[in-house]
A = this chain, B = another copy of it.
C-alpha cells in the first residue's frame, strides 16, 4: 500500500490509516493529529528539507530512519539527531528550518501543517502533551549529546553510541546501524577513520562483534559501560 511511486510522494492519510495506527505508541491525541497528516515517502539519501527552507510542516517518522544535520560553509557536517519510528521533528516555530533532514533509509513520514498543529494543540490536551513530551525528550537528548561532544574521548563516544542504540531498540545485546560510518562520525564529532579504529579496538577487546557493517553484537555489556564512562 505504501509502495506508491516516489514521484507521487504525497497521499492523503485516509488512504492508508491502518498502516499507520500502531506503528507508534499513539496516546489518544495522535488520532486527532493523524487526521490532518499527509503521508510522504523518501528514498535512502534523499533530502526531506534543507536548512533555511521555509518551514511549513512538522513531521513524524512512521518507518525508517532520518537524521538532522548542519553543514558548514566549508563542508564540515554535524548530525544533531538520529530519528526513528515514532519520533517527531521540525517542531520549532522559526520561519526557516535550522537543520537539514535527510533519509538514512527508505522512509515513510507523516507531515502536519504547522498552523493546524498549533490549533490542535490549543484544543486538544492530548496533542499538546505529546508535543511537549517530544520537545522535552529531544532537549534532554541534545543535552546528553552536548556532554558527549564536549567532554568524552573518541573511545567513550563510540561506546556510548553503541549503548544508546542498544537501549533505544530495547535489545540488550543486538545493535543495528541504519546509518553509514560517515554518519556515525558526523554524529560523534569524529572522523570516519577514528570511528573505524575505535570499533576495531572494541572488537579486539571482545567487547563487541560485527557480523556485518550494519549490525553489532554486544559481547560484554559491563565492559562497554565502563568504557563509555571513562573506565574509572
Instruction: Mark A residues whose CB is within 8 Å of B.
Output: 68, 70, 72-74, 76-78, 80-81, 91-94, 98-99, 121-122, 125, 128, 131-133, 135-136, 138-140, 142-147, 149-151, 186, 188-189, 229-230, 232
Contact = CB atoms under 8 A, between A and B. Distances in A.
A99 B164 CA distance: 19
A151 B140 CA distance: 21
Contact of A135 (B136, B149, B232): B136
Contacts of A133: 93
Given A92-B139, A93-B136, A151 B72 contact: yes
Contacts of A125: 122
A188 B186 CA distance: 18
Contacts of A146: 78, 80, 142, 145-146, 149
Given A72-B229, A73-B230, A128-B128, A139 B135 contact: yes
A74 B230 contact: yes
A211 to B, nearest CB: 29
A29 B98 CA distance: 28
A92 B136 CA distance: 5
Given A73-B229, A78-B151, A145-B146, 7 more contacts: A72-B229, A73-B230, A74-B230, A78-B150, A91-B136, A92-B140, A99-B143
A143 to B, nearest CB: 5
A151 B76 contact: yes
A125 B68 CA distance: 30
Nearest to A142: B142
13 contacts: A70-B143, A72-B147, A72-B229, A73-B230, A74-B230, A78-B147, A91-B136, A91-B139, A92-B139, A132-B132, A135-B135, A139-B139, A150-B188
